Amino acid sequence: MYVESTTKNDKIKSTETTSFFQNSRIISKVAPNSKDDYQNIIITEPVTMVNDKLYVISDGFSIGFNSLFSYDREKNDIVIQTLPFLVNYYSGIIESTYGYSDLSSDFANQKALIYGMIVASKQSTGKYGVLSIDGNEIISPRYNKIEFIENSGEFIITNSSNKVGIAYSSGDTKISVSYDDIKVMDHTLGYYLVKSNSKYGVVDSSESLVVHIEYDKIGIDTSKFPADNLKSQYILYNTLIPVELNKKWGFLDVKGKKITELIYDTVGYVNENTNDKVVNNALTIGDTKVVVVSKDKKYGGVHTSGTEIIDLRYDSIYSITSSGATAYYIYFNGKEYNAREYINAMKKSLGINDKPEVEGDVILDNQNDLSNTVNDTNNVNTNNIVANEVNQNNVIVNDVDANIVNTNVIDTNVTNSPVENTMTNGTNDINAIQTNANVVAPNNQDSNNTVLSNEV
C-alpha cells in the first residue's frame, strides 16, 4: 500500500543542511548559507558504517530528515510523515481543533511538530503560544514572537516590550524575559549569549553570569572563513571565546576567565586581494589549536592556552586547498613557510602537548576536518532503510509539496517494488528529481531494532 506525492518536478527550496558523523550520536543541522552555528542534536545510537553506507536508527531518521517514522506491527506498515505533510495537516485543523487561527510559518517553529508541539497564534490578539498536539496549553498566547530551539527543545520568547528570554518545553521560564536579544551559544555547556543596552555577555542555564555583559562583540563571523569549516562562531577549539571591546580583541576561556589581554586589531586573516582565488581566509590553523590574530597589520597566532605561539610580525597567515587537502602557510618578506611545521617546533620548544578534543562520542583530532561526514539537505534520498519483520510491501509515505524521503521495499520474500517521490538534492534552489531508495526487510528479527541509513 503506497501513498505517493501528487506533485512531481516542482521547484522547491532547501531549508536545512543535515550532517551525519560515523561512530557518533551527533547530528548537526544548519540552514544553507546561514551565519548561525550548527545545532548539534544527540540521537540514541551512533551512526554506523556498513559496506560504505551510513546507518542510523529511527530517531536519527526522524531528526535528520524532519519526519515522523513509525512501524505498525499489527498492520505490518511503515509510516513516514514528512514535515510538509504535518504542516498541511495541522494548518487545516488548527482553528477547529485547537482554537488558534494560524500555525507559525517559521521553519524552526514548524519543526516543533516533530516533537509533538505546535507554535501558533490567535487572530484576535496576534500573540503566539505553544500547545501540545494533544491540545494541552504549554505557553499561553501572550508573546509577540516565539522561536523553537530544536537541540534543546526550548523556546526563545519575546514579549510586548521586545524583551526576550527562554522558556522550557514545559512552559516554565528558564531565562528571564529581560534581555534585548538572546541566542543559544553552546547547548552542551548550557550557555546563552545575551544582549543588554548594546553590550554582550554570557549566562548559563541558571542565569548566572559566565561573561559579564560589557563587550561590544562576542564571537566571530565564521562565514568569512568557509575553508576552516568551523562549527561554532562563539567558542573556538571548544576552548577560546573571542571578545571585542573598544575595537580591540582578546580571548576568554569557557569559564569566562580572561586568558589574553584585549590587544589585537583583528581575529583571523582575510585576504583583501579579490583577484587571488587560491588563497583562503584563515581563522584557525587546522588541528594545531592556534587562532590567527593581528596587530598593526602584522599577523601571529594565539594557542588555546593563551600563549602567543606565532609572533606578531608576519605579513599574512592563510590556507590553500588543493585536491581536497588544506595546508596552512605563513608569509613573510616574499617567502612562504609551512605554518604547521612552525607551530610544532614552537610547541616543542614551549613544552605544549595538546590532547585530542572530545565532542559527544567523537574524538576530534581536528575540529575543522571531520571524516565520513554526509552533508545534504534534510530532503535527500535515503538508501537501504532496514526495517525488520516487514514482510509485505506496506510503506505509507505521507507527503505534500513534493518534499519527500524516497523509499522502496526490498523484501526477502518478494520482488523489489519501487516507490518514486519527488525530492531535493541539496542545493539552495533546485528542480526536484526522482530517485529510488530501499526498505530492506530481513525476516525473523526484532522490529524494535529498526536500522535506517542515509547515503548521498
From first to last of the 456 residues of the chain, give the pLDDT tens digit.
Answer: 333 334 433 333 457 889 888 999 989 898 876 677 788 899 999 999 999 898 988 899 999 999 998 888 888 888 899 999 999 999 999 999 999 999 999 999 999 999 999 999 998 999 999 999 999 999 999 999 999 999 899 999 999 999 999 999 999 999 999 999 999 999 889 999 999 999 999 999 999 999 999 999 999 998 899 899 888 999 999 999 999 999 999 999 999 999 999 999 999 999 987 666 689 999 999 999 999 999 999 999 999 999 999 999 999 999 999 888 899 999 999 999 999 999 999 999 999 988 765 444 333 333 333 333 333 333 333 333 333 333 334 445 555 443 333 333 323 232 222 222 222 223 222 222 222 333 332 233 333 333 333 332
Residue 366 CA to residue 289 CA, distance in Å, equals 9
Residues 309 and 302 sit within 8 Å (Cβ to Cβ): yes
Residue 46 to residues 21, 115, 385, 448, Cα–Cα distance (Å) = 8, 20, 16, 16
Query: What distance, in Å, lies between the first and last C-alpha atoms of the chain?
Result: 27
Residue 406 CA to residue 385 CA, distance in Å, equals 10
Beta bridge partners of 386: 440, 451
* pLDDT on residue 399: 56
* pLDDT on residue 40: 87
376 burial (CB, 10 Å; 0-12 / 13-18 / 19+) is: buried
Looking only at the bridges linking them, the beta strands covering 199-203 and 217-218 are unpaired
The helix or strand, by DSSP H or E, that contains position 96, with its residue range, turns out to be: helix 83-98
Residues 177 and 162 sit within 8 Å (Cβ to Cβ): no
Cell of 129: 503560544
Beta-strand runs (E) in 269-344: 279-280, 290-295, 298-303, 308-314, 316-322, 325-332, 335-338
Residue 232 CA to residue 193 CA, distance in Å, equals 13
Residue 23 to residues 59, 188, 299, 389, Cα–Cα distance (Å) = 16, 19, 38, 26
* pLDDT on residue 396: 53
Cβ-proximal residues to 78 (8 Å cutoff; 6+ apart), any chain: 69, 70, 71, 72, 387, 390, 394, 395, 396, 407, 439
Cβ-proximal residues to 172 (8 Å cutoff; 6+ apart), any chain: none
* pLDDT on residue 36: 73
**Is the pTM higher than 0.85?**
no
* pLDDT on residue 277: 66
Cβ-proximal residues to 4 (8 Å cutoff; 6+ apart), any chain: 397, 399, 419, 420, 421
* pLDDT on residue 4: 35
